[in-house]
């Protein structure tokens, strides 16, 4: 499914000057950003609805799926997102149905972690959290009618177009790269991970939908939990601290942007610039730098007005801190149980599954 892993540092790469490495990353980031923006522009021209910009989010999901799981996983991700989008919008009509759908998606991601594919598919429940909790407006009245068949159909098309274009183009661009093979995880690691993300996101989705006025941007809470929760106990604390620090720095950037920029078009343009920088920083080992750049990227590109940017940024900071606290608490419980289980010699088998193509 993917090429065998290779050494990360070749002699040529080790001798390459820093400015050459940075320039190459920026060029790649610009190319990927253009690839992600094109479907949104096309769908925006067809529908004349700001909701069409969600095609870019769908493209990000498929890019991650192809890079982490291969073309087959990318195709399946595009199809699954297109199917789940109208289902998620409809399920968000009541807290119980929204929470139930989130539980099903997280159980699926947890099962896929046995084959090392949780990273390739994790963005599906993250983006669907927005469709469940805060779907985009549609129509001249800027309303959301979760039972409108036309609206649901268009959102499915937007997600499919945005996701399938990178899946078609990326294999040609990545054919010379040796992508890492998915790393399977033992049942001992997968079960606590599955339980953590399922319990926290299901409860979080229910609470957010039950109290929409208190959690204006509640989808950030779900996204924070899913991003921070790791399979096993390695790097959970370090990644959590890096995400919180980077998010708070990103919020300062957002605050400065809304203080000086009042045009929605300018806000989108600045968001695209940050998108290029974030993609380039993704290749670096400094996670907090990436978070500091991706935070204004997502906040600026998902705003429907310049006023909403400030409110969304403030709410995201609160939800990130709350989500980080929940993940750290869950990590402490699972790590404690893991150590107790090792001392007593009980628990599930550590036999790892066979991954096709590895």
Comparing CA positions, the residue from 25, 30, 123, 33 lying closest to residue 74 is 123
State the pLDDT at residue 174: 67
The answer to whether residue 286 sits within a structural domain is yes
* Tens digits of residue pLDDT in 292-323: 888 788 777 766 555 555 555 566 666 667 76
* CA separation for the pair 162, 153 (Å, rounded): 14
3-state helix, strand, coil in the chain (%, to 5): 75, 0, 25
The answer to whether residue 357 sits within a structural domain is no
The answer to whether residue 305 sits within a structural domain is yes
Percent of the chain surpassing pLDDT 70: 73
* Cβ contacts of 320 within 8 Å, gap of 6 or more: 220, 224, 243, 244, 247
Comparing CA positions, the residue from 185, 196, 188 lying closest to residue 115 is 185
* Tens digits of residue pLDDT in 25-38: 788 788 888 888 89
State the pLDDT at residue 171: 78
* Tens digits of residue pLDDT in 197-245: 999 999 999 999 998 877 666 787 888 788 778 786 555 566 667 777 7
* CA separation for the pair 61, 53 (Å, rounded): 14
* CA separation for the pair 38, 20 (Å, rounded): 27
The answer to whether residue 3 sits within a structural domain is no
Question: Range of 37's domain?
Answer: 18-344
Mean pLDDT, to the nearest integer, of 175-204? 83
State the pLDDT at residue 142: 80
Q: Are 113 and 193 in contact (CB under 8 A)?
A: yes
Most confident listed range (85-89, 140-144, 189-193): 85-89
The answer to whether residue 109 sits within a structural domain is yes
The answer to whether residue 5 sits within a structural domain is no
The answer to whether residue 8 sits within a structural domain is no
Domain count, the chain: 1
* Tens digits of residue pLDDT in 30-87: 888 888 889 999 999 999 998 898 998 899 889 889 888 888 899 999 999 999 999 9
Q: Determine the length of the chain.
A: 358
User: What angle, rounded to 10 degrees, do the helices at 149-173 and 54-69 form?
Assistant: 40
The answer to whether residue 353 sits within a structural domain is no
């Amino acid at each position: 499914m993917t090429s065998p892993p290779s050494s990360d540092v070749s002699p040529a790469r080790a001798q390459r000057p820093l400015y050459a490495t940075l320039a190459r990353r920026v060029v790649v980031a610009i190319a990927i950003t253009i690839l992600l923006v094109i479907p949104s522009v096309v769908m925006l021209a067809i529908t004349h609805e700001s909701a069409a910009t969600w095609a870019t989010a769908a493209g990000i999901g498929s890019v991650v799926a192809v890079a982490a799981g291969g073309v087959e996983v990318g195709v399946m991700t595009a199809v699954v997102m297109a199917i789940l989008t109208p289902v998620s919008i409809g399920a968000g009509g009541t807290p119980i149905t929204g929470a139930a759908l989130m539980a099903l998606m997280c159980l699926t991601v947890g099962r896929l972690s046995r084959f090392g594919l949780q990273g390739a598919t994790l963005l599906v429940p993250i983006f669907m959290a927005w469709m469940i909790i805060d779907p985009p407006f549609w129509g001249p009245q800027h309303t959301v009618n979760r039972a409108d068949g036309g609206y649901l159909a268009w959102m499915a098309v937007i997600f499919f177009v945005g996701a399938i274009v990178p899946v078609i183009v990326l294999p040609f661009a990545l054919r010379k790269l040796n992508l890492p093979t998915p790393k399977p995880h033992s049942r001992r690691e997968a079960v606590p991970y599955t339980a953590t993300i399922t319990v926290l996101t299901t409860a979080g989705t229910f609470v957010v939908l039950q109290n929409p006025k208190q959690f204006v941007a509640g989808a950030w809470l779900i996204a924070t939990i899913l991003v921070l929760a790791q399979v096993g106990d390695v790097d959970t604390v370090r990644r959590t601290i890096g995400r919180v620090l980077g998010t708070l720095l990103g919020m300062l950037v957002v605050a400065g942007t809304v203080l000086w920029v009042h045009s929605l078009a300018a806000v989108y343009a600045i968001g695209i610039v940050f998108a290029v920088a974030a993609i380039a920083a993704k290749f670096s080992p400094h996670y907090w730098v990436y978070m500091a750049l991706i935070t204004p990227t997502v906040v600026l590109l998902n705003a429907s007005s310049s006023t909403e940017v400030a409110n969304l940024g403030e709410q995201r900071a609160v939800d990130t801190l709350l989500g980080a606290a929940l993940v750290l608490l869950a990590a402490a419980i699972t790590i404690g149980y893991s150590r107790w289980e090792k001392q007593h010699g009980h628990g599930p088998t550590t036999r790892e599954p066979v991954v096709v193509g590895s």
